[in-house]
Amino acid sequence: LMPDSMMFSMPGKPGLFPQYNRFDSPSSDGSPITALAAFRDTILQFKENGMYVINVSNPNQFYAQASYRDCGVLNPCQVFTTSFGVIFVNKKGCYIYDGHKLLLLLMVNLIGLINLA
């Protein structure tokens, strides 16, 4: 019923999700969230056409600290969390978010892959 909202639990009660503990997507396009990934004090919220970096360092005040167009994914299997960042792939290339910035590792063009690293 709310495909572009994230629900969160109460501190210390991971199985309870009160209806008012909800963070609505910063975009107003109504498209559904396709994947979520947590890294340090942020949650990466993926949609089909974009990615939002949600700062969750203060449990009483979540906010979108960055947004990236054309960095969305269609499926959660396209996102992988590591100890040094979140790696994800889409039709444009392979990216890593390291907690501070988004880096393009591989770019897809009409011929094939171009290694940028």
pLDDT tens, residue by residue, 60-75: 889 999 999 999 999 9
Q: Distance from first CA to last CA of the chain, Å, rounded?
A: 41
Question: What residues in the chain have per-residue pLDDT under 70?
Answer: 28, 109-117
Task: Check residue 24 and give its pLDDT.
Answer: 80
Structure tokens at 1: 């019923």
Give the pLDDT confidence score for residue 114 in this predicted structure. 56
Tokens, residue 40:
């340090």
User: What's the pLDDT score for residue 84?
Assistant: 95
Nearby residues of 56 by Cβ (< 8 Å), 6 or more positions away = 41, 42, 43, 62
Report CA torsion sign: 71, 73, 76, 77.
Answer: negative
| Contact status, residue 44 vs residue 37, Cβ threshold 8 Å | yes
3-state SS class at 73: coil
What is the reported pLDDT for 115? Answer: 61
At 30 the pLDDT is 74
Residue listed under structure tokens 């056409």: 49
Spatial contact of 43 and 37, defined as CB atoms under 8 Å apart = yes
pTM of the prediction?
0.85
What integer pLDDT is reported at residue 75 of this predicted model? 96
